[in-house]
Each structure stands twice: as C-alpha cells, then as structure tokens.
C-alpha cells in the first residue's frame, strides 16, 4: 500500500510517516519512486504514535531502536519501567505542589479574613 492508505490505516499523517522513516524508525520498501508500506509498517507506526501519547519522545524511540531493524523488546520493557517510575515521581511532586498551593491559599484566606475583621 502507498503512503495515503498507510496514513489512513495508522492514523498518522503522511508527514509524520515520512519523519519516522527519515529518523530510521521505519524501513519501507520501494517500488520505483513510490514507498510501499506493509502491515508490519502500519503496526509500527501505530506503536510509535501510541508511545508519543505516553510522553515518549521520538529521540527516545530512535535510541531504543538503536539502528537495528527491530526493537529489542526487553530493552523497551526496561525503558517503560523507568518511564513509569519517572511518572510516579512526577505525580508525587505534583501532589506536594498541590498541597503547598492549598496551604498558601488557606494562609492567604486567613490573612484576608483578619484584615476584613479589623474594618
């Protein structure tokens, strides 16, 4: 199939697909001057898109692939464990930040009430 159909099936734009190929994430066969995408290419495009929705950068995906034809799924799994731990750390930091903001708001509200009661 050609890029238009690959785009429709994968949900990625044609521009994104070309970018993935230029970064070495996709190996696409050619028929003359046309790129011919396989079902394997479509599945890989979907994986790349899903990874991006998880906050994984294209540069990280490129490094995970490491120039080889396929991903080392054990390495990908280890990477995802680290990514999950990082997200959990961010959540804890955001919860601390949320609690501090709430404390500051309460402190400000007490100050405002104190000023209002003096009037």
pLDDT at 82: 96
Does residue 117 register a pLDDT over 70? no
pLDDT at 115: 76
Q: How far apart are CA 89 and CA 87, in angstroms?
A: 5
pLDDT at 70: 84
pLDDT at 119: 57
User: What is the arithmetic mean of pLDDT over 112-116?
Assistant: 81
pLDDT tens by residue, 9-68: 999 999 999 999 999 999 999 999 999 999 999 999 999 999 999 999 999 999 998 878
The answer to whether 11 and 46 have CB atoms below 8 angstroms apart is yes
Structure tokens at 108: 């400000």
Does residue 118 register a pLDDT over 70? no
Buried-state track 39-71, b at ≥16 Cβ within 10 A, e below 16: eebbebbeebeebeeeebeeeebeebbeeeeeb
């Amino acid at each position: 199939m050609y890029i238009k159909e690959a785009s429709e099936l994968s949900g990625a734009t044609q521009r994104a697909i070309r970018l993935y190929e230029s970064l070495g994430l996709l190996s696409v066969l050619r028929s003359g001057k046309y790129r011919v995408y396989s079902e394997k290419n479509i599945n890989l495009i979907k994986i790349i898109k899903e990874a991006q929705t998880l906050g994984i950068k294209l540069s990280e995906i490129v490094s995970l692939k490491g120039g080889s034809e396929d991903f080392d799924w054990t390495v990908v799994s280890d990477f995802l464990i680290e990514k999950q731990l990082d997200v959990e750390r961010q959540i804890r930091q955001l919860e601390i930040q949320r609690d501090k903001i709430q404390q500051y708001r309460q402190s400000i509200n007490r100050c405002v009430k104190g000023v209002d009661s003096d009037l």
